[in-house]
Structure 1
Amino acid sequence: MTAPTRRHLLGTAVAATLTASFALPGQAQDLPQIEFLYSPFADYAPFFVAEELGYFDDFGVDVQLAPKANTAETIQLLASGNIEAGAATWGASLFNALDRGATVAIIATMARIPDTVPSPSPFMVSQQAWDEGIQSVEDLRGKRVGIPGPGGFGIYSVAKALETGGLTLDDIEAVYLPPPATAAAFANGALEAGWSIEPFAKQLENEGLGKRLVEDHIFGTELGFIAFNQDYVAENEDTVVAFMAGYIKAARLLDNGGWDDDEVVAIVAEYTGTDPDFLRGIPYTVRSEDGGIDMASVREQEEFFRAEGDLSYEGEADIEAVYRTDLLERANAQVAENP
């Protein structure tokens, strides 16, 4: 089986291979183009599926999927006009950028944590720590907990997990490291617990390195969003709508049983560098049917980062000023005409 951590080795070569093997001939060169920045994770599956099943082409846009090195670069590249579109997670840097007037337009949700278990983003305890008696959140006081970094969804998720046991971030020793590194840290005893996300959570379980400790702490939380450069949107509204229509159609396919389709799983497996059988056994993030963002969830995250002292402004960031629900509504109308 291909190890899930291979996803970080994927890049332009994978995208080129997929374009050659899946693309619909003779269509794309005459269509308006969008370059979309993505991470090779299953959360981005709707974009992979829309591209390879021809949904983007069907709605009239040629999409070039470009892998990114890290999630932090997306907003900077969009704001500077170096990329037309991409997806990112909610976090302190994004809220601060919006307050400063970053030139991005937010169009739709990209991923949301489902209201069910197993969770695609569980809070996990190492098997070694479990065997030594750390079997509840309360037992983690003073212990080392892995977090992807400050100011992002990972630390928000960990804080919510700790709340279930009456703890705060001040009660633990935060160790910042990326999810792929958690396996080694659990194995060598460097961490007692940590944030995780699929497919790394399943990898930890399969290798006997970790156990799910908390899974109901972030039900319904907005995880990521789709954004465009504002100037690009102003000049290419129809193209943006076409892109979003392809995305919505693919997202609905996935959220309504698409993961049971071997062709769909094969597409996602190629983009993520993950074995298809492995993909069939993990829980996934979801989206609202129409792609709309649950703003209450976003505001809750904003308040968390304010309490942490990570925000440089008072009051609420004016997200509504850049949230283009009008384009999302047009995209939904196009999908209704071409389901």
Structure 2
Amino acid sequence: MRLTRRTLLAAAGGLLGATGLAACGADEAAPARPTPTPGSPQLTLGFSYIPDIQFAPFYAAHALGFYAEAGLDVTLRHHGGSESLFGALEAGEEDLLVASGDELLQAVSAGSSLLTVATVYQQYPVALIVREESDIATPADLRGRTIGTPGPYGGNWFALLAILESAGLTTDDLTVEYIGFTQQAALTTDAVEGVMGYLNNEAVRLEASGIPVRTLTLPEDAALASIGLNTTTALAERDPETLRAFVAASLQGIRAVVDDPEAAVELSGAYIPGMTGAARDDARATLEATIPLFGDASGRVDLERWQAMAQFMAGADLLEGEVDATTAATNDFLP
């Protein structure tokens, strides 16, 4: 299917109509969204979060029929708030999962047989966020400061450790406050001097609330791999062609979003409950901040970065055992 605004909006209109929502001005002459043919391989794609515009590439691949055209019948499944990150994937309730490579490496170090088969975010999405007028300008400026992060886990924690390492610092050189997911309130009330947060989440929310901020992102050579497409080694060995088709269709979805973000916001409304008015404006701002994270949208896994990440995480005592990063990520399934 040719990627044009007509086809994107046609898919949005068809989906919104099917869910009883208002159509988005779809062109009646645009081609209908392909549907899976009977007998197509069935796959369930999991998301580690509630419905959100950050998953727009996969909504687009589903809505525009890229999965169907690839001969796949794909179900999208969002996780609940207390659900284990890799639990459904390991239990066979999901076939693929959109999640971070560093967390997958932790799971592999604990004995899970999981594999990253494509990179979604080429840039690590977590940064140190400070007020615009802050005198914190470089990682070295963090000595003696008070920084807030949700806790000693996940991408926010990993990124903080990486930023500190780049300046030759450790958490002993500053005060780290565990603030839960209250970054906006903590920075707004000056409870801390900076917070760890996502470029396409907390940084966007702070700006939208009228708090001008700056971000200190990870160094380009930082040894952390971000959001990717993950599966089990069992599926990769059992059905490589199906997996390869899925990856190719998902990358089409990323490119469709990059080509026309506004149309991607429209079609995502069928997947995200209540995305109207101010919520739609928020989604648009979030997607604008997300698109640069896709990089060249090639899906390529930087295997050298993965090896460096294994060394970094082991040195930071973030892994439960030794792990060979070359067995946890691959480019073998890219188109």
TM range (shorter): 0.7 to 0.9
Greater share of helix residues, 1 or 2?
1
Question: For the residues of structure 2 that align with 1:325 and 1:280, how far apart are their CA atoms?
Answer: 26
TM-score normalised by L of structure 2? 0.74
Q: 2:56 aligns with which of 14, 37, 45?
A: 45
Shift of 1:57: 0.7
Shift of 1:164: 5.7
- 1:173 aligns with 175
- 1:117 aligns with none
Q: Deviations over 1:229-272 (max 9, x none)?
A: 333444433332221121121223334x332xx32222345545
Asked if the contact 1:146–1:174 (Cα under 8 Å) also holds between the matched residues in 2, the reply is: yes
Asked if the contact 1:107–1:226 (Cα under 8 Å) also holds between the matched residues in 2, the reply is: yes
1:253 and 2:256 correspond: yes
1:23-62 matched pairs, under 5 angstroms: 24=33, 27=36, 30-38=39-47, 39=49, 40-62=51-73
- Structure 1: 4+ residue segments shifted above 6 A: 16-19
Q: Deviations over 1:178-213 (max 9, x none)?
A: 55x211112233222111211321221232335114
Asked if the contact 1:136–1:213 (Cα under 8 Å) also holds between the matched residues in 2, the reply is: no
1:1-339 matched pairs, under 5 angstroms: 20=19, 24=33, 27=36, 30-38=39-47, 39=49, 40-69=51-80, 73-91=84-102, 94-113=104-123, 121-126=126-131, 130=133, 137-163=139-165, 167-179=169-181, 181-197=182-198, 198-209=200-211, 211-215=213-217, 217-218=219-220, 222-255=225-258, 257-259=259-261, 262-268=262-268, 271=271, 273=275, 274-276=279-281, 277-279=284-286, 281-284=288-291, 285-314=293-322, 317-326=323-332, 328-329=333-334, 332=335
Question: For the residues of structure 2 that align with 1:160 and 1:282, how far apart are their CA atoms?
Answer: 22
Gaps of 5+ in 1: 1-15, 115-119, 333-339
User: 2:304 is aligned with what amino acid?
Assistant: A
Q: Deviations over 1:128-159 (max 9, x none)?
A: xx46x666655543333122433432223223
Q: Residue 140 and residue 297 in structure 1: after superposition, are their counterparts in 2 closer, same or farther (change >3 A)? A: same
- 2:6 aligns with none
Worse-superposed segment, 166-175 or 66-75: 66-75
Asked if the contact 1:89–1:225 (Cα under 8 Å) also holds between the matched residues in 2, the reply is: yes
User: 2:128 is aligned with what amino acid?
Assistant: F
TM-score normalised by L of structure 1? 0.74
User: 2:57 is aligned with what amino acid?
Assistant: P
User: 2:187 is aligned with what amino acid?
Assistant: F
Question: For the residues of structure 2 that align with 1:230 and 1:134, how far apart are their CA atoms?
Answer: 44
Shift of 1:28: 5.7
Aligned residues: 299
User: 1:293 is aligned with what amino acid?
Assistant: V
- 2:27 aligns with none
Asked if the contact 2:53–2:268 (Cα under 8 Å) also holds between the matched residues in 1, the reply is: yes
Question: For the residues of structure 1 that align with 2:236 and 2:17, how far apart are their CA atoms?
Answer: 27
User: Could you tell me the percent identity over the aligned residues?
Assistant: 22
Asked if the contact 1:98–1:319 (Cα under 8 Å) also holds between the matched residues in 2, the reply is: no
Asked if the contact 1:154–1:195 (Cα under 8 Å) also holds between the matched residues in 2, the reply is: yes
Q: Deviations over 1:259-295 (max 9, x none)?
A: 2xx3222234554544244246435311554422002
Question: For the residues of structure 1 that align with 2:287 and 2:331, how far apart are their CA atoms?
Answer: 33
Task: Please report the RMSD computed on the Cα atoms of aligned residues, expressed in angstroms.
Answer: 3.4
